[in-house]
Amino acid sequence: MFLKKQLAARSAESALKDREAVLSAIEKEETVLLGLVRTRREAEIALSESDAEDSLGQRSDVVGARRRLDEASKAIERQTTRLAGLRGRAVRQASELSERRNAVKSELANHANELRTAFAAEWAKAVATLNRLMGERQALERLTGVTFEELSEPKAEAGKLADSATQPYALVESLESALSELAAWLRQANETDFVFPGMTVLKAYDSAQIYILNVPYGRYEAGALVVDGSFVPGVLRGLARRGEAVPVNDAQWADALNPAQKAILGIADEQRAEMDAKAQADYTRRLSEMKDKTWDRGGPQAQPPARELNGRPWSGHVDQHVG
């Protein structure tokens, strides 16, 4: 059991480490892309100025400015492709993250029992020591006739748990956080701008993109890969703007993120079930406590407090033997 728990924890840590490496690489490449975008903007301004100088008959380097703009654009394209690869690797980790989370979560009950057993033993020793000291205090107070009022009473302090105790719970939280972040990527990809009810949202269209059909059209089945030339002019643009065809890269991105979305929905269902079970247990406990407090008129709880007559127990009825 201990070995299984350790293996689950190590596998989870490895998955989180791999994810952190990918996210760090994404952050680094995004910084590079930011610089390339600035370079392209500068090249656009330089070309605009060169074109203006050329129009005015001034000396200019239009060819060189255009070449630098082309180079900047190609550099951005290459960097975008690199980032797409890294982000694709990140979303493909969703299945493994979900598996690792479930493996660690399945060991939490055993881990909790181990913590309870270990703490119960430590608690028993502490209680035994406290009981002994309390007994000695009472004996000393009787012997001396002095109450030890200056002695402090036991009170709870802020507890600090060992890393070995909190590690499995922290791992589950980290894995769920990673899955939530991936699911957020999917929500962001599916977000649309706010429009008033009844308005139609027309999606953007790029004739240079490869699209995948969401609906059958003509000789093409749903799921077919098409380009602008697959149809007479205007057809694919209309399909794309209605959302009946989407860029294949966008579709693949959504498909890759689906495992994370399913995992998050599963976790939400699991948490709701746990909350329902806890609420039911609390209700049952409260109901049991209420029953215990209810007097049973035929039982011993219904008997009035004991009274005495002449130093002897008296039930309240005249006893013929009492003289």
Higher pLDDT, 247 or 13: 13
Per-residue pLDDT of 32-50, as tens digits, reads 988 988 898 899 889 999 9
Per-residue pLDDT of 97-128, as tens digits, reads 999 999 999 999 999 999 999 999 999 999 99
Mean pLDDT of 263-288: 82
Q: Which residues pair with 213 in a beta bridge?
A: 245
Q: Which residues pair with 121 in a beta bridge?
A: none
Structure confidence at residue 198 (pLDDT): 57
Q: Which residues pair with 220 in a beta bridge?
A: 217
Does residue 323 surpass a pLDDT of 70?
Answer: no
Does residue 3 surpass a pLDDT of 80?
Answer: no
Model pTM? 0.65
Structure confidence at residue 277 (pLDDT): 84
Structure confidence at residue 191 (pLDDT): 53
